[in-house]
Amino acid sequence: MGLAVRRWIERERLSAFTFNFLDMKKTSGHLTVPFLEASKAMARGVGYAGEGDVLTAQLVAAVASAFPETTFTEMFCPDWENGTVLLSHMGEVNWRLLEGRGRILEMDYQYSPTDNPVRVVGRLKAGPVVLVNLAPMAEGRYRLILVPATMLPVSGPDRSEASVHGWFRPPLAVPGFLEAYSRFGGTHHLAMCYAAEAGSAGPTFAALEAFGRLMGWDTVAIRG
């Protein structure tokens, strides 16, 4: 299945792609869910986003064209006590960004009638990042939301080692960050790229701001 997806990408010369796992059915010719190929494709610089999100898939492709250490991800839940936010997804990640080599595991898959897929799992490596969200607005307008953040190491046992995951510290306290992100209309799906420098004063952040202005988007930043 993964090789079929790769040939399709190459034949159509796609810069990005997406699929909805609920539509992966044997009766439609999908022998499994191509999570592994999605992860491999992002490592090659092809854009991807889950659940049929073509907008974020192309955003990932655009960001990756300038910053290869880019992946699709989702914000899942806050850790109020420690001031961090969990990033995760079912089975797709740019595997080159995982701490160590990551692992390939079979998934006990029950969401659509097809065979169990394999996926790469592991923890996103520590370091400065920029979270990038493209939110559709009214009347055909878009807003690019940029968040300088820090992916964190894990001290002690990693109890989520069988999943795609990572914790980041936002530039504000978590309640204020989530409020600002929501007020700007931020969505569940994101691109995330690693930056050579922390914060919003470096060239990575500046390049992403310039990209948003060049596209004519309302470009905003959530800073500390």
Q: CA 215 from chain center: how many Å? A: 21
- Report the alpha-carbon distance of residue 175 to residue 179 in Å, rounded: 6
| Range of the structural domain that residue 51 is part of | 2-221
| pLDDT reported for residue 103 | 92
| pLDDT reported for residue 20 | 81
Asked if 205 and 220 count as a contact pair (C-beta separation under 8 A), the reply is no
Distances (CA, A) of 92 to 50, 118, 147, 205: 8, 10, 22, 25
- Report the alpha-carbon distance of residue 37 to residue 22 in Å, rounded: 17
Q: The domain that contains 208 carries what CATH number?
A: 3.20.14
Strand-pair category, 47-50 with 16-19: parallel
- The pTM assigned to this predicted structure is 0.94
Distances (CA, A) of 56 to 61, 92, 222, 224: 9, 14, 19, 25
Asked if 89 and 164 count as a contact pair (C-beta separation under 8 A), the reply is yes
Q: How many residues does the chain have?
A: 224
Report how many domains make up the chain: 1
Contacts of residue 154, defined as CB under 8 A and 6 or more positions apart, other chains included, come to 123, 167
| pLDDT reported for residue 165 | 95
| pLDDT reported for residue 112 | 84
Residue-wise DSSP of 87-139: EEESS---GGGBSTT-EEEE----SSSSPPPEEEEEEBPPEEEEEEEEEE-GG
Low-confidence spans in the chain with pLDDT less than 50: none
